[in-house]
Chain A
Amino acid sequence: MSPARTLYLSNPSRAARPRPEPGRERFWWYFMRISGLVLIVLVLGHMFIMHVLVQLTGQEINFAFVSSRWGSPFWRIYDFLLLLLAMVHGVNGARIVIGDYVTHKPIRAGLIGLLMATAVIWLLAGMIVIITFNPATAPAVGPFS
């Protein structure tokens, strides 16, 4: 088999990186594909409800909408999984993109560190809001009005 054909078969999709050697990077290679499959259902479902069904049924996304939606544990768990998987899948993708374009080691490490730190804060904040949200105790009048 020619070297070109071997390389071609090692990366059949030609849209992503070849499957890495066993180890951490191989885990992430599988994670992107498996979480991607789950996210197709979760993200397209979420966007179909929020942008197509809401439009067709003449509803509006506001505080009352979210309160009634998160009144059901099903949608809280759905949104929790969506946040977790989308954030990890997206941040890992961004990490790989940074790794492809930023070759200067300290700058690359700094950017990826910043990305990870931001992602952890955002993920925790989002999870806390989804878990603890309670319309009964939310302030009726906002701090800015």
Chain B
Amino acid sequence: MSIGQKWRLSAREMFGYQISWAQLAWMGHRLSGIGVIVFLFAHVVETATVALGPDVYDFTQGFYHNLPARLGEILLMSAVVYHSLNGLRVIVMDFWPRTTIYYRPLTYGVIAATVLAMIPIGLIMITPYAPWGPA
């Protein structure tokens, strides 16, 4: 496919087959989980520097005081919210198999609820760097 021939890739072209929401929900659960555990390893080290006193700890907290770090924190929050809600769906469907017939609406609900929750949370978290934030 040459550039300009077609600007939009279908799921079939991207993955070689028609990917389903089930696979995307599963992949999202995996990617968000891996992202959170990688952050957790870094977070334990950064928090442990509190034992070295205020000088060191306030310095390491400075790593978070910039826009890219804040955007990363918003991404982390989205990953945790999605992983929580999707995990809840996994638990419900594993322990009450009859809910499996609502599989599709539950999956759409998880994605919609994550996006909805992240609107106010994201707006609050971006405040220091936003036009409406403190000067």
Instruction: Name the prevailing secondary structure of the B interface residues.
Output: helix
> Closest chain A residue to B64 by CB distance?
A61
Chain B residue total in the interface (Cβ 8 A): 50
Q: Which among B55, B89, B91 is the interface contact of A140 at CB below 8 angstroms?
A: B55
Contact B87 A139 (CB under 8 A): no
Any A CB within 8 A of the CB of B111: no
Contacts A86-B40, A142-B55; is A19 near B94 (CB within 8 Å)? yes
Number of A-B contacts (CB under 8 A): 138
Sample (27) of A-B pairs whose CB atoms are under 8 Å apart:
A12-B97, A13-B90, A13-B91, A14-B22, A14-B93, A14-B103, A15-B26, A15-B86, A36-B88, A37-B91, A40-B84, A40-B87, A47-B77, A51-B124, A52-B124, A52-B125, A55-B127, A61-B61, A63-B54, A63-B57, A66-B50, A93-B37, A122-B44, A138-B53, A138-B54, A139-B55, A140-B55
Residues of A whose CB lies within 8 Å of any CB of B are 8-9, 12-16, 19, 33, 36-37, 39-40, 43-44, 47, 51-52, 55-56, 61-64, 66, 83, 86-87, 90-91, 93-94, 97, 118, 122, 125-126, 129, 132-133, 138-145
Q: Can you add 4 more A-B contacts, CB < 8 Å, to A13-B100, A125-B44, A129-B51? A: A13-B91, A14-B22, A14-B26, A15-B93
